[in-house]
Structures are given as C-alpha cells and as structure tokens.
Structure 1
Amino acid sequence: MTNPLLRASELPFGLPDYHAIRPEHYVEAVEAGAREQLAELADIARDDSPPSFGNTFVAFERSGQLLRRALQAFGNVRAAHGTPEIQDAHARIQSVLTEHEDAVRLDAPLFARLSSLDAARLGGEDARLVEETLRDFRQAGAELGDADKAALRALNSRLSDLSTEYSRRLLAGMNAAAVHFATAGELRGLGQGELDSAAAAARDAGHADGYLITLGLPTAQPVLERLELTESRRRIFEASVNRGIRGDHPTLDLAAEMAGLRADRAGLLGYANHAEYALEAQTAPSLTAVMDRLAALVPAAVANAEREAAVLADSAGRSLEPWDWAHASAAVLRTRYDVDAAALRPWFELESVVRDGVFRAATLLYGVTFAERHDLPVYHPDVRVWEVSDVDGSALGLFLGDYFARPTKTGGAWMNSIRLGAGLFGELPVVTNNLNIARPAADGPALVSLDELRTLFHEFGHALHGLFSAAMYPSLAGTAVPRDFVEYPSQVNEMWSLWPEVAEGYIRHHLTGEPLPDGTLDRLEAAALWGEGFATTEYLAAAVLDLAWHSLAPGERVADPLDFEDAALRRAGFDPAAVPPRYRTGYFKHIFGGGYAAGYYSYIWSQILDADTVEWFKERGGLTRENGDRFREGLLARGNTRDPLESYVDFRGRPAEIGPLLARRGLGV
C-alpha cells in the first residue's frame, strides 16, 4: 500500500487520511522526512550567496515539511490510541527523531550560516524568529566542541529511550492497577450508570463478572468522593499511589536515571542543573524566582489544608485517612453549603456540555460556529470532528473531540495540533482535545463531574489558542509559547463553565430537561473556596517534587527514589502521608514522559495571569464580543510572535497582579 503520509493530504484542511495510515507508515514517513530535511538544511548551509532573512531563517522554517506532517499526524494518535503496534512505532520514531534533532541542532555549518545574518534591522515576528531559533540552537549544544557534542548525543539518545519506556510502563501499569470488585455492594454510592460502565469495563478487561474501576492519571480518583465503603476507597487509593512502585511495570528506576542524566546534560551545556536549563526559555525570570514564589505559597496552602482536615475530622467524628478525604469533603459541601456534587451529575450531560456549553461560549465570545462532519477519517471510532467557521463565515479550522477513556489511551486530558495555523504554508489549524471520561454503558448518557466540566472548558481554551493562530512561522504559531505561559489561555476559558449566561444554555437534567434548582450556581460560587487548601497543597507538592528532581547537580544520583521524594516534600513543609502530591514519581507523566520537566510550576505561574484576566473580563462586562475580540487579537492569535508577557501588558495595560490569584486560592500571603 502506498504510504499516504509521503504526500500532502488532499482531504479538507489537510487532515491525515487516518483510515489508510498504518503504524509502519508513520515510521517510514518520519525516516524519509528526516533524510529530506537534512538535505534541505545542507543546501542552506552551503549557500554561498550573502545571507538574507529569506535564505536563512525562512528557508529553515520551510524545511522538513514531510517530517512535520508525519510527526503531527502521529503525535496525537500515539497518546490517544497507543496500541502495541503504535507503541513499537513510537519507540522507533523517538530514536530517529532524537538522532535527527541532534544532527540539525549540532550542525556547525548550518549554525554558522544562521548566526552570520545581521538581524539588527529586523522587527516584529521576523526578529522574534531569529531570537528564538538561535536560542534553541545554543541550548541544544550548537556551540559545544566535537567531543562534548558526541557526549551530548549519547545522553539525548539514552534519555529518549528512557522516556519512551517510562510512558509504555505507565500505561501498562495504569491498566494493570485497575481495581476489580466482585459485587455491586462494594461500590455503594455509585449511580446505576456508573455501575453499568464498571461492569462493561470488567468484561472488556477479561473478567467473567464483577466491576472494574479504572484509574485516571492523578493521585486523586473521582470515584473516591462517592464511594461509601472505606475499604473500597482504600483499595482504589492504594492502587493509585503505588503505580510504578510495585508490580510488573516499575517506573521509579527510569525516573531516577532520567533525572540524573538530565543533570549531566545541563552541566555539559553550562548550567548548574536541569531546572536552570529549562527555565531559560520560560517567562519566569529565574529558578530562584520560581522557588521563592512556591516557598511563599506553601505555608498558607498547608495551613488551609490543615484547617480543612480539622473540619472534616470534626464532621466525621474521627481522624481521616487520605482515602477518606474526598468523601468527607463532599459531605461537608452538602451540609455546610448545600452542594451535592455527585447529585449534580445528571445536569451535566457530555453532549449538551460540549455543544451548548463549550461551543456556545466560544460563539458568544468570539463569533465562531461549529458544524459536525461525519465524512472525514478518524483514528478511532470515538473521535468526532467539527468544522469551525469564523465570524464572517470563512473556514477557521477543524476541531476533533476524543472524550472517552480506553485501555490504549494515556490518562489525563490534553490538546494536540495535527495541523498548525501558519501563514507561511497557507494552512489552517486542525486541533484535538482528549479527555478520559468513563464510557457510558450501552446507549446511556455520558455524565460528567464538575471537575470534568472544568477540564472540558480548559482543554478547549488550548484548542482556541491553536485555532486562532495568526502567526506566519510554524515554530511561533498557536500554542508554541513558553511552557509557563501555555496554560494561561486554557485556564481563562474555565471561567465560562458556570458563567450564568452560558450555564442557562446547557445545564439541563438529561432526563427531564429541567434547569438546575434555583440558587445552585450561587451555592457553588459560595463553596468555591472549600477544598482549595487540599487542591493547592497537592498541586504545590507536585511542583516542588518536579523541581527537586531537576535541581540535581551534574553527577549526582538518587539511590532510593521513594526516600528522595519523601525527603523533598517534607523539607518543603508538606506531609505527604496526609496530602499526597497530585502526581508521585511513579506516575508523574508530565515530567518523565512529557514536556514539563522542571515546568510543572507553570500552572500556578500562569494562573497569576489567568486570575488577573478574569478580573479584567468582569470589570468590562464579562461575556461580550468586544472583550472576546480583544483577548483573541491581543493574546490568542499572537502565539509566540513576541514575548508573551509583552502581549499581556499590551492587552491588560499593566503587568499582572497576584492579588486575584491569592483570593481565588484562599492564600493570605
């Protein structure tokens, strides 16, 4: 069969022909694309005409179109439908890609040609492209000597293999850690739809009977707040926190080796540790600034969590184990705030949330509209496709929604770009959102929790960032911004999930069509600070753990990852036995199997911008087209075409203030 990736797709918006693509096609296209780009770059380096912006940096951006097309087609499939064949392809692709990236970034003649350009007269996006490209080359080792380049290549190759294996074991371990229950009585507290879903999951996993509770990626598992039996909660909690530690899929050794090798690589490149290396490309001014910010937030967050624990213990009449926290917290919400999160699920049906909530908010704010298409090939039957039109009716891009959990899908939620909105190639964006909502049994409704509701709006904020891209150059387009800025637009989009004008359009009981009982949204708002102590503490603990792993000095090694984790958390002021971090080392995919190494702090860092922007929207009337257009044009469309903080100051009229975030999190610091 002819490899469909070897030529540009003729489908609308350049969508890959997923029905025709086989796992081996991805490997073949990546290998061919790497060879093709190296030949193109050799031509740039050998060009003996005077260097110009066009024959250096624009030519560099134009190179590697086959490779880019193949990688973007593969990237989402690998995480969303990682069959054994796809995982094998991923291992090969990562090996090829690591070698190729080194071949490009360590190419001395190419770097000499690029750096020979006098860019003093350039401005705007052109100047930004030069600045970002040269920094990337330098950070990748372009200025090292030959011996150090050889050492760097070896480190990068080993790190690539380790990260691939970590992701493979994590997915296998997460599936293996799913908890089987023999009777429905052990799952008392779950609704009939959830029980039906758990029974179907058990059969799909090969059990003759019973019920299977599958795990999500974070430590906290949503079912813990609804399960009434302590023993059932304990089994699920312990299965969650012990992933990667016990069983047939250990990851701790991989994580420790990765952290040590990253430290060695940082030293080779002239940095004190990997965290300093990683932060050079971020908006945060320094590692010290990040550490100081986290250190200032931790005591107040821990104090809030302790106050919440005291309330929970008093309410329950006993000290609580960590697996009891979510259940007891939900009880306090019911008694103190008259909010029953589990009882609200029938009002949040997935189809209505997406169509009449997520999409409608975008229409009200930005004027964009969505039309579902059933004629385009997708990589899994669960995937749905919508064509997105701009306010003037012109085509804006495609949006793919892949919402249900399955054994081949990585846990968590994320956004990917299959095509970038880059003016250089005249292409329109194709973006995806992935979640892991429990699949309903048979034809039952898919009901979402309040957390999943926020996640749907959050991930669509990323999607809008990609769809609204107005950049010329692919490497600066859409979400290609610093890691500690990329979460900002998605966090802002969460504000519309319960905004009254949006809520009235989609929150309906899935059986009766009735709206929420009067006063429910007000009670949810009044209860917003309850649980922030726990939520902020578990997040900050994960951010501190990330930086601890990536503050190792070159040559430093960790013999016992669990002791290291415990000591790092306690040294920072946490009690991990009471409030475990959101991710432990054994299943911290963000940093050991993703791109967030030394960057998990970015969520709270970008929330400073987010909370300040929410205040801006409220001050200016909220959900209006005028506000949406300004946010779109001033921030979302710009991508990385200039320093994102400059874009923020231009949009807001001043730098962000931290006060709104402290108020939101209940942190009086």
Structure 2
Amino acid sequence: MRKATLLATTMIAAMASGCTTTSGAEMDATTTLPGTAEYNPEIPAATSVFAELSPLPFHAPQFDQVADDEWQGIIEEAIAIYTAEIEAIANNPNPPTFDNTIVAMERAGDVYSRATAPFDQLTSANTNDTLNDADAALAPQRAALSSAIYLNPELFARVQAVYDQRAAMSMTPEAAMLLETTYADFVHLGAQLDPAAQDELRSIDERLSTLQAEISTNITDGAAAGAIFVDTREELAGMSESAIEAAAAAAAERGEPGKFLLTLTNTSGQPQLAQLENRDVRERLYNAAMARNQGGEFDTLANIREIIALRTRIAEIFGTPDYATWQMYDRFAQNPETAIGFMTEMVPALRATQDREAAMLQARAEQDGATFELQPWDWPYYAEIVRQERYALDNEEIKQYFVVENVLEDGVFYMANQLYGLTFEKRDDIPVYNETVSVYTVFDADGSELALFYFDPFARENKSGGAWMNNYIEQSHMMGLRPVISNTQNITPPAPGQPALATWDDVTTMFHEFGHGLHGMFADQEYVSISGTNTARDWVEFPSQFHEPFAARPEVMARYARHWQTGEVIPDELVEGIQASSRFDQGYSFGEIIAASLLDMEWHALQPGQTPDDVMAFEAEALNGLGLRTDLVAPRYRTPYFRHIWNHGYQAGYYSYTWTEMLAHDAYDYVVNNGGMTREMGDHIRESFLGQGHSKTYEQMYRDFTGRDPRVEPLLEARGLLAEDDDTTGVVASPGAQ
C-alpha cells in the first residue's frame, strides 16, 4: 500500500513540503502456503514505459520517453492495474495473514507509483496547459482510487482480522508499526463508516481532488499574472544592476521591451520590497501580491469556500468537533489544542517584539523626513536600512559569495561528507525535464552507491513557488529499491552572462531541502509505507530544519562562501553581520509564520455548518483576533494563495514548521554541546532518527538522539523573542516555513 501516494500526495516543502511516490517489484498474489488454496488472480498488464522498472541507474524516471499528451492515458492505465491488484488482495479466498494482506498491499501499486512520481514533479516544476489539463482530469480518478482501497469492506475485513490477531503474532518492531499505521489509516479514512457515509465520503474526496487541483493551477497562474510592469529604470533605484537586468529581460519575454517586470514570489512578502527606494512602486508591488487570486480569471475564493464546507462535512461524518481534530490523528502533537497552545504561548512575546520593531522603523523613516505612518510595504525597506546600519550587512554584497553550484557542491555536499561520510559524483547520462536540472550519484561512507540526487534550483513561470523535496523512488529492502531523491527551489535565475547567485535565505533553504533529502537517502526500512520521509507532518520537517544551521558553521562556510570573481572567502565581518542580524526583525519573519499557522487552524477549527459566506471577511476577522500586528505583517500566505493548506496536504498542519523548528534548534544545541560536526555525531544522528523512517514512535526517536524530551528554550533564544535579546548575536535562526 502506497501511503506516500494515497495519503500524502504532495511534496515535502520548505513549502511545501510531502513525499511523493515509490515503485517496486510486481505484486505476487499467488498463495503457496501449505494448506491454502492456489490463487492466481488476473492482473491487467501494463503497456507503457512504466510497465517495468526503468533500465536507468537506480531505476530513475525516463523523462525523455513520455510526451506531454501521453501522461493521462499512462496513469489511467496504472490506476486500473492498481485497482485490480487491490481487488485481488481483497478477494483472496485464503484466511488473512500479515503476508497475504498487509505485505501484499505494500507490493501493490508499483506501476502507478513509477508513473505518478515523475508526473507530479512535472506538474509542479515544469508544467504547461497539457499537463495541467491531465492533472485536473486525473485528480478525481486518483481520489477514487484512494476510496477504492480504504473504503473497500472486504479489504478492511482482512486488515481488521490481521490487526485483531496482533497479540498472538510474532513480528519485528517495524512490521508491528506497519500494521498499526495501516489499521489507523483505514479507520481514519472511513473503513468503519456505514455504506451510506462511505458513499458520501467518496463523492467528497473526488470533488476535493478536483477543487484542489484547480486551486493549485490558479495560484501559479495568478502569481504570474500579478507581476507588475515598471516603466523606467529610475523607478527601480535600490535594486542591483543584475536584478534590474533580469527584470528587463522578463518584461521583454512578456512582449514589453524597454519596460521592467517585477514578478511575484509565492509568499505575501516580496524580496524587492526591501530594496526599492520608490515608495509608490513598493506599494504597487505589495498590493499586487495581496490582491492575487481574488476575482478574475484566477480566482480561488469560490473553491476555497467549497473546500471548507466539504472538510467540515468530513468532520461531521466522523463525529469529530472539527476538521483539524480529524486530520491530526497521526501527529506528534496529537491534537489541535496542543499545536494551538504551543503557538499562542509565544504570541505575547512576539507581539511585544512587533510593537518594538514597528516603533523603531517608524522612527527610522521619520529620520529620513518621512511624514507618513509606517505601512506594510514600508516595513521590509526600513528594516533592511536598519539592518545594514546596525550590522553593516549588504545583501547584494553577500550574494557575491554564494554561487549556487558552489553552495551545493562545496557547502551542502561538504557538510554531508564531514557528518555522514557521503561523496557525490555528477553525471550527465540521466534524462531530465529541464536543462537546468543536475543529477548526482550519492556514495555512502563505505563507498557503495546509496542514492541518486536531482537538483532543480531556478525559478520559472511554469513552476510552483517555494521549495520542496520529493522521491522518484523510495527505499525498500522488500522491493530491493534504493532512493532517487529530488530537491527543487526557486532561486532567481541569473541575468545573461552573469553567475547564478543565491541569497542567504536561498542558502539555508538549500541545506533545509537537502536535510529532507538525507531523510530519504538514509531510509533503511523493509516497507515503503514507513520508509524515509513517510512520517507525520510535524516530524518530517524536523530533519530538514535541523540541517539549516550547518550552513553557518565556519568550517563549512570557508569551503563554499567564496567570491565568484576573486575566490576570496567571505570576510569575517560579513559572517558576523549574518549571525548578528539573525535575531533582528523577528517580529516580521516569525510573525508572518505564526500568523499563517494560526490562520490555518482558524479555517480548520470551523465546526460543521459554519462555512463563511465571505472568505476574505472571515480571514480579516480571524487575523484581527490573533493578537498580532497583522495590519503591518501579513501572514506568510493569505487565504487565496495558501497552497500549503489547499493542495499540499498541510491543512491543520502548517504549525509543523514551527513545531519542528523547536525540535531542530534543541537537537542542534545537542550537537554543539556534544562534539559538533563529527563523523561520530553523524552516525548517531543517522542511527537514532535520520535513518529510522517511522519504524519507531517520534517520541522514542527524539529521546534516542538527545536522551530527553524536546525543549522550547533554544527556539526562543534563536528567535530572539525577548526584548533584551532581539538584536544580539547568536546562532543563526531558521528562515522558517516555506
């Protein structure tokens, strides 16, 4: 059973972030145990390129073998095969056993997984109208497939029978965890509902899949359409020459030569707001970002209202007070009260920080003669001025030391070598879907081939915003499969003739996403469903955020942070500026994350029948009630373009970025206090949690690593939420959710 495919059909994001899919050997439905009947069900044969494992190294996807207009037919065929495999398990005349039921489900769906993994990446990272149409057509079919599995009464009867016998069975701990999670998934998805309720749930799931696919496409297209044209170079004063040239090239591509195009990122805040001296242009850009997906061709509000109505109906069907309670059945935090309480306890200190910072920025604006009251489009601009004055930090100067390829190969890979003994070899014999994608073989400490790694760094108009990790192939000893992992980002591409340079946030995101990658690469499980990154939302972001601080370790920076022209290592004063400024402006950077996390919970704490008529009015009321300065600091994602919770599986789960940031800061504190970045420490990380998948409970894995429960204090220290700490030096704070 492909939990990664059917329960979390998204990619893990610093975004984004859930896992995608896996593939495996053909299902062996023949029963040969003594005293059992011979059983040879007919399974349709696949005819596509995905009928067999790819002949490429690590069975990597053959992107060059499938035309855009072939994907829909290929996946529809795979759905039919998977359905037949599940029916074969459900109708097995032999008594249910762990092997012929639970393990058989693990073996099923290999053709489907092989096909959907590259397709899902294409529709997120390199899409077009043909792929979007296929995605929309397939969404309800894929939802129906999930229902055909989890709402199959004969199949659940077999799962129930095996589960009821568990006390008398001799199982490995991993097999016992697989049985527990399989049973819990079936119950969660409606296996115990009466037939009428199951029929309604099927209809809801299919409708949700259609709505979510439409929203995702509209968010991408809405961001592209929301870009603003600027007439003159003078209006872009404050931006770097390379950024202005890139804006000119983007305008020319849109048919407006001589103008400049400022494109929108997927988040509420736009990076150009920290640079633009022209206040009118700042306001235009900010308002364009805020207004997208509200009305017009790419409106998402009607879909959102219907999604909420359907999700609250799901809660009603299952008898839970709200959708969040139903959704959090498998989480580390366990229930909404724990997650909400964790965040709201930080609100008073965060609000005080926001008030202090707002007053400071207002005063700085008035120092320049401003007579206006500080507005949200002013905050990033004056914060950057104060940052540079306080810490002598010039972000454009810093970027000159962060060549994208160097950050990856001399930074991320170096960290992985020093901690885990990994080595990497770039290769050019693997087909990719875009010429900017690179591929590496990953070798383990003993020299054996461990994984294949793809890296897709640059933003494109046909690419979803944010950053994510996904699996083309997931590790499984039972299937004999090794991981094929991909990291995707949205770094600004270079202007013609210029090097590809990264911001500090891009750098830490690169380490973040590779942390996800290591979670997948180090998977060492028998079964796919609990392998690698197939974990709860509020655990899966822990390994990624844990690896972010390694970007700032001096021994790592000395390797990759070199000026692209001179080769000079980044000066100590710039590094000190990065470190010193890490706690600065937390009212904004942390405030936007907490606001988005609580907004997510507000939507999913609605009770059945409470769906608001006016989506934006509900958002306004919810934000006003948070106790934060949302008048100046918008949530990282506003409702109309909050892709994480409408299509990426993070509904009632966006809090997980902050929850896992708590785990990450505490765990990194353990590293610092126990020898630092050593091979011994790397082995301990891998053996205690990074290579464990979901073979153990989350509490147990964390205690195996640190010897205790997690502490919130390192997070508060890193974020500088106390007045006396908000501009002091210290560890580099996580950039937070993507």
State the TM-score bracket (shorter-chain normalisation): over 0.9
Letter matched to residue 240 of structure 2: G
1:64 matched to 2:109: yes
SS of match in other structure, 2:400: helix
Aligned residue number for residue 136 of structure 1? 185
SS of match in other structure, 1:576: coil
Find the aligned partners of 1:125 and 1:377 in 2 and give their Cα distance: 35
Aligned residue number for residue 181 of structure 1? 230
Find the aligned partners of 1:471 and 1:438 in 2 and give their Cα distance: 37
The count of corresponding residues between Structure 1 and Structure 2 is: 669
Find the aligned partners of 1:315 and 1:233 in 2 and give their Cα distance: 17
Aligned residue number for residue 77 of structure 1? 122
**Contact 1:9–1:17 (CA under 8 A) maintained in structure 2:** yes
> What does 1:374-453 correspond to in 2, within 5 Å?
374-453=428-507
1:627 matched to 2:686: no
Distance apart, 1:229 and its partner CA: 1.3
Aligned residue number for residue 250 of structure 1? 299
1:220 matched to 2:269: yes
Aligned residue number for residue 115 of structure 1? 160
**Contact 2:586–2:721 (CA under 8 A) maintained in structure 1:** no
Residue deviations 1:408-430, cap 9 Å, x none?
10011111111101111111111
SS of match in other structure, 1:578: coil
Find the aligned partners of 1:25 and 1:133 in 2 and give their Cα distance: 33
SS of match in other structure, 1:398: strand
SS of match in other structure, 2:442: strand
Q: Which moved more, 1:314-323 or 1:219-228?
A: 314-323
Aligned residue number for residue 191 of structure 1? 240
Aligned residue number for residue 48 of structure 2? 3
Aligned residue number for residue 51 of structure 1? 96
Aligned residue number for residue 556 of structure 1? 610
Find the aligned partners of 1:633 and 1:90 in 2 and give their Cα distance: 39
Find the aligned partners of 1:508 and 1:556 in 2 and give their Cα distance: 55
Aligned residue number for residue 15 of structure 1? 60
Residue deviations 1:280-337, cap 9 Å, x none?
1111032111121121111211111111111111122143211111111111111112
Matching residue within 652, 655, 661 for 1:601: 655
1:288 matched to 2:337: yes
Letter matched to residue 119 of structure 1: R
Find the aligned partners of 1:421 and 1:43 in 2 and give their Cα distance: 25
Letter matched to residue 620 of structure 2: D
**Contact 2:454–2:486 (CA under 8 A) maintained in structure 1:** yes
What TM-score comes out, normalization by structure 1 length? 0.98
Matching residue within 397, 417, 429 for 1:363: 417
Distance apart, 1:589 and its partner CA: 0.4
Letter matched to residue 129 of structure 1: L
**Contact 2:379–2:632 (CA under 8 A) maintained in structure 1:** no
Aligned residue number for residue 163 of structure 1? 212
Letter matched to residue 386 of structure 2: V
Find the aligned partners of 2:593 and 2:428 in 1 and give their Cα distance: 39
Matching residue within 118, 123, 138 for 1:93: 138
Residue deviations 1:489-513, cap 9 Å, x none?
1001101111101000111111111
**Contact 2:140–2:207 (CA under 8 A) maintained in structure 1:** no
Find the aligned partners of 2:189 and 2:295 in 1 and give their Cα distance: 36
Aligned residue number for residue 329 of structure 1? 383
Find the aligned partners of 2:356 and 2:395 in 1 and give their Cα distance: 21
1:372 matched to 2:426: yes
1:532 matched to 2:579: no
Find the aligned partners of 1:62 and 1:475 in 2 and give their Cα distance: 10
CA RMSD of aligned residues (A): 1.5
**Contact 1:29–1:66 (CA under 8 A) maintained in structure 2:** no
Distance apart, 1:2 and its partner CA: 6.9
**Contact 2:141–2:206 (CA under 8 A) maintained in structure 1:** no
SS of match in other structure, 2:572: coil
SS of match in other structure, 1:209: coil
SS of match in other structure, 1:399: strand
> What does 1:505-654 correspond to in 2, within 5 Å?
505-654=559-708
1:496 matched to 2:543: no
**Contact 1:5–1:26 (CA under 8 A) maintained in structure 2:** no
Unaligned 5+ residue runs, structure 1? none
Q: Which moved more, 1:102-111 or 1:179-188?
A: 179-188
Find the aligned partners of 1:66 and 1:389 in 2 and give their Cα distance: 27
Find the aligned partners of 1:331 and 1:84 in 2 and give their Cα distance: 42
Find the aligned partners of 1:559 and 1:79 in 2 and give their Cα distance: 31
What TM-score comes out, normalization by structure 2 length? 0.89
Distance apart, 1:238 and its partner CA: 1.0
SS of match in other structure, 1:590: helix
Unaligned 5+ residue runs, structure 2? 1-45, 724-738
Find the aligned partners of 2:421 and 2:382 in 1 and give their Cα distance: 43
Matching residue within 203, 219, 223 for 1:154: 203
**Contact 1:414–1:459 (CA under 8 A) maintained in structure 2:** yes
Distance apart, 1:205 and its partner CA: 2.1
Find the aligned partners of 2:176 and 2:273 in 1 and give their Cα distance: 51
Q: Which moved more, 1:196-205 or 1:91-100?
A: 196-205
Distance apart, 1:575 and its partner CA: 3.2
Residue deviations 1:138-160, cap 9 Å, x none?
11111111111111111111111
Find the aligned partners of 2:94 and 2:212 in 1 and give their Cα distance: 42
Distance apart, 1:14 and its partner CA: 0.7
Aligned residue number for residue 482 of structure 1? 536
Distance apart, 1:615 and its partner CA: 0.5
Distance apart, 1:246 and its partner CA: 4.0
Find the aligned partners of 1:527 and 1:16 in 2 and give their Cα distance: 43
Aligned residue number for residue 655 of structure 1? 709
Aligned residue number for residue 4 of structure 2? none
> What does 1:342-353 correspond to in 2, within 5 Å?
342-353=396-407
